[in-house]
Amino acid sequence: MAHHSPNATNLFSFPNTDELVDSLAFFIAKAQKESIDKKGRFTVALSGGSLPKMLRGLIGNPSIKWDKWQVYYADERVVPLDDADSNHLSCTNNLFSKVPIPTENIHVLDVSLLDDLEELSDAYEKELIKEFAQKDAARFPVFDLILLGMGPDGHTASLFPGHELLAEEDRWIAYLDDSPKPPLKRITFTYPVINHAARVVFVAAGKEKVEILSQVLDTPEAGLPASRVKPVFPGQLYWFVDDAASVGVQFPRSAFKP
């Protein structure tokens, strides 16, 4: 991705959702190739909300090596995997049921632990430790790609404005039982995990994101959760948005050059 700015925020705005979807698929395919060429695998974290349907450009895409993907969730609602609120269910309905990804490559909640948030989040952290080697004080996993959404209040993953988890510096996976957006119980990647990724991509589309997108990009000092995503070097941050969402944004756009 040499044509993008070193360690900066890259804002790509597309005239419509279809162009956003196609460009995002192109970007993901390229990131996948770079990762597989280097390490033989591609570690990805997905979100729920509006994100899964924006991944439709991957369906039927011959360059995607699904057996090399290891998929995690940047956040998950603490519900059974077939519950309408489950981010996994949404990703399954919109993507995984339509592509040849091995089930064992998708890392879901341990549903036997849904009644114990501490155990549940520890177990998910252990899933990451298995993938990324030992956890120690100085070490965080380096995902090849983390795909995030942004809610109308500026939350991302399950990191909400003013919540104590915004200050979490140690755990990889944290839990909350007081989510301002239902359902109350969730687990989430913490900032150290998000900010150590090689690439973090936000996807936001539609006019309902206009105000919050300009707040997050133009006044980051306000400290909204999405503004706190700042990958450490050499990690890169990308925003894939549509013009309907970015119409009020002052932040400079970059040209997307496939």
| Binding positions for ligand LXAUTJHC, rule: CB under 6 A | 47-51, 75, 87, 148-149, 151, 157-158, 181
Could you tell me if residue 44 is left (phi over 0), alpha (psi between -120 and 50 degrees) or otherwise beta? beta
Q: Which residue is nearest to ligand LXAUTJHC (CB)?
A: 49
Q: How far is the CB of 188 from ligand LXAUTJHC (least distance, A)?
A: 8
Angle at 48 between CA 44 and CA 112, to 5 degrees: 85
Is 68 or 173 the residue whose CB approaches ligand LXAUTJHC more closely? 173
Are the C-beta atoms of residues 84 and 104 closer than 8 Å to each other? no
Neighbours of 140 (CB within 10 A): 21
Is 135 or 181 the residue whose CB approaches ligand LXAUTJHC more closely? 181
170 three-class SS: coil
In the numeric block, which tokens belong to residue 213? 């997108």
Is 65 or 228 the residue whose CB approaches ligand LXAUTJHC more closely? 228
Question: φ, ψ for residue 20 (rounded to 5)?
Answer: -60, -50
H helix intervals, 48-190: 87-94, 117-132
Q: How far is the CB of 214 from ligand LXAUTJHC (least distance, A)?
A: 16
Q: How far is the CB of 158 from ligand LXAUTJHC (least distance, A)?
A: 6
Is 67 or 82 the residue whose CB approaches ligand LXAUTJHC more closely? 82
Is 68 or 145 the residue whose CB approaches ligand LXAUTJHC more closely? 145
